[in-house]
Amino acid sequence: MSGARNASPLTPGHFLTPQRPDTVVKRAFAALGKASQSALAEALGVSRLSANELLNGHRGISAVMALRLARVFDTTPEYWMDLQRDWDLHVARREHGAEIDTLPPIRTAQSPSDMERPIGEIADELRRRGGLRQVRS
């Protein structure tokens, strides 16, 4: 158990697997008793191909699709965008987390206020440390 505490948050297996957006769309649509892709396409005002790709996980939920889904299922666009964001981060962690874990941080925040420092201050600090060159135009 102690290894899990020290592991990077990018390491796969340290997060619950989020719901796949396509699975949520399928369940929501099935709950309405309309199981055909054509019916979903018509309800969303998109092509049958778009509905098919959405239902089969070959198309993510865009902002416009989130608006459509929110309208049709009486939810919020944020709900659908959050599902897609969580899934995208899960996939990115799984596929690239180990590689990204090897990147050294430029700096670590000591407190929340450190994260609010102007970028100019951070750049000056890096220059003083010799880690950032000034480019002249």
For the chain, the farthest-separated pair of C-alpha atoms sits apart, in whole angstroms, at 65
pTM of the model: 0.67
Token pair 């880690």 is found at 131
The pLDDT of residue 104 is: 86
Q: Are 22 and 115 in contact (CB under 8 A)?
A: no
Torsion angles phi and psi, residue 93, rounded to 5: -60, -45
Question: For the segment 7-25, what is each residue's pLDDT rounded down to a tens digit?
Answer: 455 555 556 889 999 999 9
The pLDDT of residue 54 is: 95
Q: Which of 67-71, 89-93, 133-137 has the lowest mean pLDDT?
A: 133-137
The pLDDT of residue 13 is: 53
Banded pLDDT at 2 (limits 50, 70, 90): very low
Question: For the segment 29-85, what is each residue's pLDDT rounded down to a tens digit?
Answer: 888 887 789 999 999 999 999 999 999 999 999 999 999 999 999 999 999 999 999
The CA distance from 34 to 55, in Å, is: 13
Tokens of 117: 């420092």
In eight-state DSSP terms, residue 43 is: H
In eight-state DSSP terms, residue 19 is: P
Question: For the segment 118-133, what is each residue's pLDDT rounded down to a tens digit?
Answer: 777 777 777 787 765 6
Domains and CATH numbers, the chain: 21-101 (1.10.260.40), 105-137 (no CATH)
What is the number of residues in the chain?
137
